[in-house]
Structure 1
């Protein structure tokens, strides 16, 4: 069986509360044995950590402040993130970034929170996991302004164009591909064929953005092979090669802090 990694899944959320054990069993049955969990804010930490404690060789926590949680008084949230980073090791700093989809009110605060957390990534030698909904060009510019040789990470849920993809990979960052890759009008059918598999990670962003044929339903890690098959088709590559390369990429990105 092919081995996969889900590089981005919020499986600690309430949408999984009733059947989490079944969700994880399905994940493992489909070869998805490692799941990386991005934090949102102080409200998600306990549930995320509890899940990691229950499945220490399968579920790995990140620590960060999601841009949609950057509001007035966000400094308090950042203090909690900083405190946690000083207590233990995490797989990455994430999910961090910018978001202009819902609300543009706190744009300057989002940029400040992102810059602070990138500096922590440099300090702790951790990769960053970047959210950039409706703000990809702005976020690329931010990363370019902060980039150093040791800074790396992934632009999660990538749905941009080829020029944007190349700017990201030229900086040494990965592109996270999920359900959008399977959408008829997702636009990635004209991008993925031109990208090397060495730049790709697989993700679900569970419980969001389920791939076709589950679109509109709750997403879960067991659907990772569906995304992998779509990429294999678009790139005219064997599925096992897509599985092997994306798994290798994920382990390389997160490995120095993997809790085994």
Structure 2
């Protein structure tokens, strides 16, 4: 059985002391690849070190995370553009909108998101979208509105950490996106138990968002790629299919994004 973790910050300092053990556990759980979204300039070096050390296992994205958008956004975007122009990343990410903490830099977030959507279209790369709501603003809706408004060619990707409604799931699918399903699917009040039974496996990929959002029974502890199997089992239970069916479908869905990425044996 092969599984893909389509979103994990395994370059995070929380993994420094036991990274080799983390990879061994991932292997034992059948995790074939771990996709690494970038956050900002400060995370590039550690992410790229893993990408170079494990080129077929740890696949890097390049982007500016909305939570890292501040007055320095122009310099941050310049670094993203420089890397995208000279290195074969598997996606642009993680990018998007975050209204959870405050709205101080929302205008800058929109500019950064718009710019990076255009780069993704230009380079024909999928995107990993972060959309976290707050302050009575729906980040998924506003992200989807911008994507529809721009109508860029060749734009596809994943709505990372999808926790929306069935209507929102269908809207994402209609836009040509997959839904990234993670640890929240295992939470008692996560809400996805009302959505996933009605969404075809063809539209799902799996993720951990490690070291964050660990699934039950590890909720509140450090998350890691090996826990993808718990998420896959939760999806299987909700959809009343086998774990193998979930693994086969979500892995095929993930591999469909790698058409332009030079990774071996995918």
The normalised TM-score by structure 2 is 0.96
For residues 220-259 of structure 1, the aligned pairs below 5 Å read: 220-259=224-263
Query: Which of residues 187, 192, 196 in structure 2 aligns to 1:192?
Result: 196
Structure 2 residue aligned with 1:130: 129
User: Is the 1:60–1:258 Cα contact (8 Å) retained in structure 2?
Assistant: no
Q: Find out whether 1:36 has 2:40 as its counterpart.
A: no
User: Is the 2:118–2:152 Cα contact (8 Å) retained in structure 1?
Assistant: no
Q: Find out whether 1:204 has 2:208 as its counterpart.
A: yes
Can you give the 5+ residue segments of structure 2 that lack an aligned partner in the other structure?
134-138
Q: What is the Cα deviation at residue 255 of structure 1?
A: 3.3
How far apart, CA to CA, are the structure 2 residues paired with 1:44 and 1:103?
A: 22
Structure 2 residue aligned with 1:4: 3
Q: Find out whether 1:213 has 2:217 as its counterpart.
A: yes
Q: What is the Cα deviation at residue 87 of structure 1?
A: 1.1
Structure 1 residue aligned with 2:181: 177
Q: Find out whether 1:92 has 2:91 as its counterpart.
A: yes
Q: What is the Cα deviation at residue 58 of structure 1?
A: 0.4
Q: Find the residue that maps to 1:118 and give its secondary structure.
A: helix
Paired positions, count: 259
Q: Deviations over 1:84-130 (max 9, x none)?
A: 01111000000000000012111111000000001100110000100
Structure 2 residue aligned with 1:120: 119
Q: Find the residue that maps to 1:217 and give its secondary structure.
A: coil
How far apart, CA to CA, are the structure 1 residues paired with 2:86 and 2:24?
A: 31
Root mean square deviation of aligned Cα: 0.8
Q: Find the residue that maps to 1:18 and give its secondary structure.
A: helix
User: Is the 1:41–1:77 Cα contact (8 Å) retained in structure 2?
Assistant: yes
User: Is the 1:183–1:212 Cα contact (8 Å) retained in structure 2?
Assistant: yes
Q: Find the residue that maps to 1:19 and give its secondary structure.
A: helix
Q: Find out whether 1:148 has 2:152 as its counterpart.
A: yes
How far apart, CA to CA, are the structure 2 residues paired with 1:94 and 1:179?
A: 20
Q: Find the residue that maps to 1:104 and give its secondary structure.
A: coil
